[in-house]
Structure 1
Amino acid sequence: MNEAAILLTLAGVHFVALMSPGPDFALVVQNATKYGRQTGLYIALGLSFGILTQSLLSITGISYLVHDHPLLFAILQFAGGSYLLYLGYGALKAIITKLVRRDTNQQTSTKSSVVLNNKRQAFSKGFATNILNPKALVFFVSLMSTLVPASMPASGKALAVLILWSLSLFWFAFLAWTLSTERLQKRLTTMGTYIDTLCGIIFTAIGIYILHESLLPIFH
């Protein structure tokens, strides 16, 4: 397989993975629909830089060493699972608070002004969600080790990383932009509680699963 075919295959596999529902996808949907375009775009930027970091660590072999070292990988799993569980807890707690207070409009307005004025927080949230996801580490280790041969020149590897980053930024920014259009925002406003609940369940379920995986060796 020549270099062009390798890069096209890499791009195709990665783009399909990007569109699959998961923590990254759920984070963009939750924040773009709830807080608007600016927050959604900074979440997308943070996620793309998380993927850039994952790609660099994988192509240089650092991620492989972490994946191949049980203790380091277990620590990453525990940290990632805990963070996703924290996101899930926060989302579900906010829903319960809304239902108890019956003051959704006022609460949403207050939260939006806080998040929209803090671009760094939105970027950091996106970056942390991706970089702390051990499933992402496993995916990129598998992707790079399977599709990118060690004999590929440095220019080809650099182009591979650039493709993964640019596709990630394009997809998540497109998703954030689409979900925050005026017409769609009007429709999604009435579904805000359901979207937050679904995203909270996704974060919680994946977080619990990853924590279970990290603690499993201790009990065996």
Structure 2
Amino acid sequence: MILSEFIAIAGIHFLAVVSPGPDTAIVINNSVKFGRSAGILTAAGVGCGIIIHVLYSALGIGYIVQQSVLLQQVMMTIAAIYLGYLGVMGLKSWASAYDADFDSPQGQISKRKPFLNGFITNGLNPKATLFFIALFTAVVSEQTPLLDRLGYGVYLVFATFAWFAFLASVIGHPRIQKQLQQSYKVVNVVMGLLLLLIAFRLAWSIVYEM
């Protein structure tokens, strides 16, 4: 593994992963609603979603995605619909927010759902794919062995998970979570609108590129 490449990749990735986006929104949303464990499972899903982009980039498959406008539009459409759905569901529950019982069965969530939320949100994000393609193209030399490229990918997966797990641990801390749940109606509306805004931006990108 080339140290200079690794440091560059780690630095650029850190700046990207801490920037607010769909992954941040879904991790915070699940952490507030369902607690730390659900937030960490969502973070694990996001981390596993990174595997898709890393494989695209490290194996050169991402070039196909980069060159195919149609494929990018299909991915963006699916992502926009999914994020829009999550946003609408968040806004839809605002009317009963004051009566929300987070300890009831309705206030719980299966282990699979938050993981899938994170995985789908990240895995279907074509902008993430393009980011990793650009990262590997600009930073990683063509002479860098495949094993080293995959090593960078493993780091990116775990670094992504670590950041979002940390975020989930903070937001999902019982004291902080309880305070946020007391403002559940406001949080629901804000997160719902944020997800809808991200979905709208994806949809606008599709229309703009057509």
For normalisation by structure 2, the TM-score amounts to 0.92
Alignment partner of 1:184 is 2:166 = no
Q: Which residue of 1 aligns with 2:155?
A: 163
Q: Which residue of 2 aligns with 1:213?
A: 205
Shift of 1:107: 6.8
Q: Tell me, which stretches of 5 or more residues in structure 1 are unaligned?
A: none
Q: Which residue of 1 aligns with 2:30?
A: 31
Q: Tell me, which stretches of 5 or more residues in structure 2 are unaligned?
A: none
Tell me the secondary structure at the aligned position of residue 149 of structure 1.
coil
CA contact (8 A) 1:63 1:141 kept: yes
Q: What is the alpha-carbon root mean square deviation over aligned residues? A: 1.8
Which amino acid in 2 is paired with 1:121?
A: K
Offset from partner CA, 1:158-215 (integer Å, 9 cap, x none): 2110110110111111111121222222322223222222221111111112112223
Q: 5 Å matches for 1:119-138? A: 119-138=111-130
CA contact (8 A) 1:24 1:126 kept: yes
Q: Which residue of 2 aligns with 1:57?
A: 56
Pick the aligned partner of 2:99 from 100, 103, 110.
Answer: 103
Alignment partner of 1:3 is 2:2 = yes
Shift of 1:88: 1.1
Tell me the secondary structure at the aligned position of residue 38 of structure 1.
helix
Write the distance in 1 (CA, Å) between the matches of 2:83 and 2:103.
Answer: 22
Shift of 1:98: 1.9
Write the distance in 1 (CA, Å) between the matches of 2:209 and 2:20.
Answer: 28
Tell me the secondary structure at the aligned position of residue 93 of structure 2.
helix
Q: Which residue of 1 aligns with 2:85?
A: 86
Q: Which residue of 1 aligns with 2:19?
A: 20
CA contact (8 A) 1:88 1:199 kept: yes
Q: Which residue of 1 aligns with 2:139?
A: 147
Write the distance in 1 (CA, Å) between the matches of 2:72 and 2:5.
Answer: 28
Alignment partner of 1:112 is 2:107 = yes
Pick the aligned partner of 1:175 from 167, 181, 194.
Answer: 167
Shift of 1:132: 1.0
Count of equivalent residues: 210
CA contact (8 A) 2:44 2:165 kept: yes
Which amino acid in 2 is paired with 1:109?
A: S
Write the distance in 1 (CA, Å) between the matches of 2:133 and 2:186.
Answer: 35
Write the distance in 2 (CA, Å) between the matches of 1:161 and 1:107.
Answer: 37
CA contact (8 A) 1:22 1:202 kept: no
Tell me the secondary structure at the aligned position of residue 24 of structure 1.
helix
Shift of 1:12: 1.1
Shift of 1:30: 0.9
